[in-house]
Amino acid sequence: MAHRHFLIHLASEMPGIFKSMQQIYRLIGASGRISSGIFANSESGTQGAGGNITIDTQNLYVANGARMAVSTFNSKDGGILTVKAKEIELVGGAASVGSSGLFANVESRATGNGGQLLVDTDSLQMAGGAQIAALTFGSGNAGTVQVKANQMQLSGSSPGGSPTGLLANVESGAKGNGGNLFIDTQSLQLINGAQIGTGTFSSGNAGDLNIQANDVELIGSSSKAPSMIFTTVTSNATGKGGNLNLDTQTLRLIDGGQIASSTAGSGNAGNLTVKATDIEAVGYSKQGRSGLFASAIQGNGDGGNLAIATDNLTLKDGGIISASNFHSINSNISPGQGKAGNIQIAAGAILLDNTSAENPASITASTLSGGGGNIFLNVQQSLTARNGSQISADTKGSGDGGSININADSLEFTTGAYLTTSTAGKGNAGLINIDARSMLFDGYSNGLFTGAFSEAKAESQGNGGNIQVTSDILQLNNQARISTNSAGLGQAGNITINSRQIKTNQGNIVATSTKTGGGNLNITSNLLLLNNNSLISTSVLDSNGGGGNIYINSDFVLAHNHSDIRANAVFGPGGNIQIQTQGIFFSPDSKIDASSQFGVNGIVTITNLETSKNIANIELSKNIVDSNQQIAASCRGDRANNFVVTGRGGLPENPTDAILGKTVWTDLRELSPKVGVEAKVGGNKQEVLPQISQNTPSVIIEAQGWTVNSNGQLELIANSVNTIPPVSSNSAPTCSAI
């Protein structure tokens, strides 16, 4: 059935107001250059201002290129287009008739500002490339778009590839700034490449995008673009990007759905802020991975910051949060020279997981040229990563890589999940700083070690980053590791761990290098337990560089079943190992080694903390001891007297003081010369000893003292008032005392 051409045109020579309260409005475009529609424009060549259009209806249907517009073609401002309806359906048409929809534009060479678009409806359905847009092609600023709806669904694109969407752009060649876009809805769904966004293609600044909703869902992509909410600065644009603010109860990004703030020009990108009770990003499409992005590609502009506040954040099977300066899909697009933005996430709990190794779930801040962005994760409860998931901050150019900063109650990485900062260029790798009450790294999967790593790769000239860990309990199991490594020209980073308990079971803490010096290890704990081929190492594998130093301060250090502490080198000197502890216990097959294969060995120093503390508290005498007061002075050498102290006690703290502790007298001489007679037996002389009586007292009483008999001999006797009591352990014994 052929549709008749429908046109209401309010000319600017006689500006007016179009109002209608019909029950149903159907604007259906006809083929040809003239669209069906309602227009209230300020026309070119006139001095009149554009009029207003107000539609109040139950149902509004606009299709096949039909339009409602309040635009300006001259120096006057555009009018206001207000649509209030129970249901609104906008459907695009063939490429030859243009987009169906609602428009408030500043046209080419116009200097007036754009009008406003106000939409209020229970249900807004848009498809096939239909648009609600406030665009500027001239010097005037674009107008504002406000949409309030209970339910919104935008789907697909036009046959020519133009997305169905809500837009507020500064178009190519325009000098004006873009307008702001406001959306207030209970439910917002974008599917199959539909988009909502603000952007600049020129010198004007893009407007801000603000969305207030209960549920937001972005699903899939078209053949050319993902379903997306965005603010952007396009290639060759010099204007600044707008800020994007999303506040919702639930946010779901599925099969390539994306929210992004980006710049590809010299203008800086805007910031992206998301507040939601629950956020989920799952899967990917040919147009990219599901997630949230803050990017700076091609141009010199800096990327915006990405801030997220949520109770629960889940990234699965390709779900990603990214701040980078390169295109994640098309490697032919040159990286940006600007600095990548930062990622800041405040969450109750974060989960990263995968069902396959392809496109792992990740949080990343990476750069190919400019400085990398930083990652800040503040997690009230648990940060969990599994099955190859990753949190990374990398640099491949001259700029330094960003840092990873995590504060969580519980951190659990298993089955190949890892944290990493790295450099493959001139820039240095960033810092990894983790503070968590409970920390577990466990497992190895699909060629990936679980752990925290900072690496300077083989082609790099920069240094590896440092790793700092603070926890109550740290566990490294099943080949998991905390590691800094340099395979390039730079130094490996240092590792500092402060944890009440450190327990490893086939776990490694290593700071190694293949070409330069190894990093240093600083470990402070109450208990350091290494078990089942665990390793602490600062070894250098193949260079003139020296092994790094290892400093351990732990109440107890235990190593069992081939667990080692090493600071080895090949050609350079071995590193030094210093251990301060109250107790160190190593199985025979475990060792401490600071050797160098061809260089100078390092030094191993083990200090007992208790002994060191006691010695430090003793004030030594400053007086020289009088030789006349020495204990052995009264012992006559011609009688072979001996004075030997055995048992506990040792030396007094001061030579003139009594010995503290128990002392035992032991005289190792024979008690008397041998008494006997000689007799000849078979021509040989033999000594015949007197017979000793075999009679023994019926009751043996332990000696309690001694006395000197009439012959001057010493006798041990039981208690008696006349006995000499034992020498006090608090008095200094002398030979003359006996």
In tens, the pLDDT along 470-491 reads 999 999 999 999 999 888 888 8
For residue 151, is it within any domain?
Answer: no
Residue-wise pLDDT tens digits, 628-663: 555 544 555 555 555 554 544 455 555 555 555 544
Mean pLDDT along residues 563-585: 92
pLDDT at 703: 64
pLDDT at 326: 59
Predicted confidence band at 562 (pLDDT cuts at 50, 70, 90)? very high
> How many Cβ atoms from other residues are within 10 Å of residue 485's Cβ?
22
Mean pLDDT along residues 102-122: 89
Sequence-distant (≥ 6) Cβ neighbours of residue 412 within 8 angstroms: 382, 383, 384, 385, 438, 439, 440, 442
3-state secondary structure of 614: helix
Burial class (CB in 10 A: 0-12, 13-18, 19+), 14: exposed
pLDDT above 60 for 19: no
pLDDT above 60 for 384: yes
Mean pLDDT along residues 222-251: 92
- Compute the residue count for the chain: 738
Which range among 71-85, 362-376, 523-537, 650-664 shows the weakest confidence by mean pLDDT? Answer: 650-664
pLDDT above 70 for 14: no
> What are the strands, taking DSSP E only, across 177-257?
181-191, 195-200, 209-219, 228-233, 244-254
Mean pLDDT along residues 368-383: 89
For residue 705, is it within any domain?
Answer: yes
pLDDT at 419: 96
Tell me the Cα Rg of the chain.
43
Sequence-distant (≥ 6) Cβ neighbours of residue 282 within 8 angstroms: 252, 253, 254, 255, 290, 314, 315, 316, 317, 318, 319
pLDDT above 90 for 612: no
pLDDT at 6: 47
pLDDT above 90 for 514: no
pLDDT above 60 for 339: yes
pLDDT above 80 for 720: no
Mean pLDDT along residues 174-183: 91
Predicted confidence band at 681 (pLDDT cuts at 50, 70, 90)? very low
pLDDT at 696: 52
Which range among 12-16, 498-502, 512-516 shows the weakest confidence by mean pLDDT? Answer: 12-16
Structure tokens at 375: 């990652």
For residue 238, is it within any domain?
Answer: no
pLDDT at 491: 83
Burial class (CB in 10 A: 0-12, 13-18, 19+), 32: exposed
- List beta partners, residue 211: 183, 246
For residue 460, is it within any domain?
Answer: no
pLDDT at 269: 87
* Domain of residue 715, residue span: 701-738
pLDDT at 635: 52
The CA-based angle 528-529-531, given to 5 degrees, is 150
Which range among 436-445, 522-531, 716-725 shows the weakest confidence by mean pLDDT? Answer: 716-725
pLDDT above 60 for 686: no
Pick the more confident residue, 112 or 291: 291
Which range among 30-39, 207-216, 413-422 shows the weakest confidence by mean pLDDT? Answer: 30-39
Nearest to 345 by CA among 431, 451, 273: 273
- Looking at the chain, the whole-number percentage of residues with pLDDT higher than 70 is 74
Tokens 């109440």 belong to 555
Predicted confidence band at 380 (pLDDT cuts at 50, 70, 90)? very high
pLDDT above 50 for 60: yes
Predicted confidence band at 626 (pLDDT cuts at 50, 70, 90)? low
- Distance CA(508)–CA(504), nearest Å, equals 7
pLDDT at 15: 45
- Distance CA(380)–CA(350), nearest Å, equals 10
pLDDT above 70 for 35: no
Burial class (CB in 10 A: 0-12, 13-18, 19+), 94: middle
| DSSP H or E stretch at residue 685 | strand 684-688
pLDDT above 90 for 666: no
- Distance CA(30)–CA(2), nearest Å, equals 8
pLDDT above 90 for 25: no
pLDDT above 60 for 690: no
Mean pLDDT along residues 596-606: 91
Predicted confidence band at 277 (pLDDT cuts at 50, 70, 90)? very high
Sequence-distant (≥ 6) Cβ neighbours of residue 181 within 8 angstroms: 134, 144, 145, 166, 167, 168, 196, 197, 198, 207, 208, 209, 210
Tokens 């848009």 belong to 126
pLDDT above 50 for 683: no
Most confident by average pLDDT, 114-123, 325-334, 678-687: 114-123
The CA-based angle 576-578-582, given to 5 degrees, is 160
In angstroms, how far is the first alpha carbon of the chain from the final one? 135
Predicted confidence band at 718 (pLDDT cuts at 50, 70, 90)? low
Our CA dihedral for 45, 49, 50, 51, rounded to 10 degrees, sits at -140
For residue 537, is it within any domain?
Answer: no
- Looking at the chain, the whole-number percentage of residues with pLDDT higher than 90 is 48
Which range among 63-67, 395-399, 453-457, 711-715 shows the weakest confidence by mean pLDDT? Answer: 711-715
Most confident by average pLDDT, 138-142, 209-213, 293-297, 701-705: 209-213
pLDDT at 359: 87
For residue 735, is it within any domain?
Answer: yes
Which range among 154-163, 354-363, 551-560, 612-621 shows the weakest confidence by mean pLDDT? Answer: 612-621
Which range among 6-15, 69-78, 509-518, 603-612 shows the weakest confidence by mean pLDDT? Answer: 6-15
pLDDT above 60 for 327: no
Number of domains making up the chain = 1
**Strand pairing report for 288-289 and 284-285:** antiparallel
pLDDT at 729: 43
Our CA dihedral for 361, 365, 368, 371, rounded to 10 degrees, sits at 180
pLDDT at 24: 67
Global pTM? 0.80
For residue 710, is it within any domain?
Answer: yes
For residue 725, is it within any domain?
Answer: yes
- Distance CA(231)–CA(268), nearest Å, equals 11
The mean pLDDT value of the chain amounts to 82
Which range among 298-302, 354-358, 435-439 shows the weakest confidence by mean pLDDT? Answer: 298-302
Tokens 């409860």 belong to 381
Pick the more confident residue, 399 or 586: 586
Pick the more confident residue, 566 or 303: 566
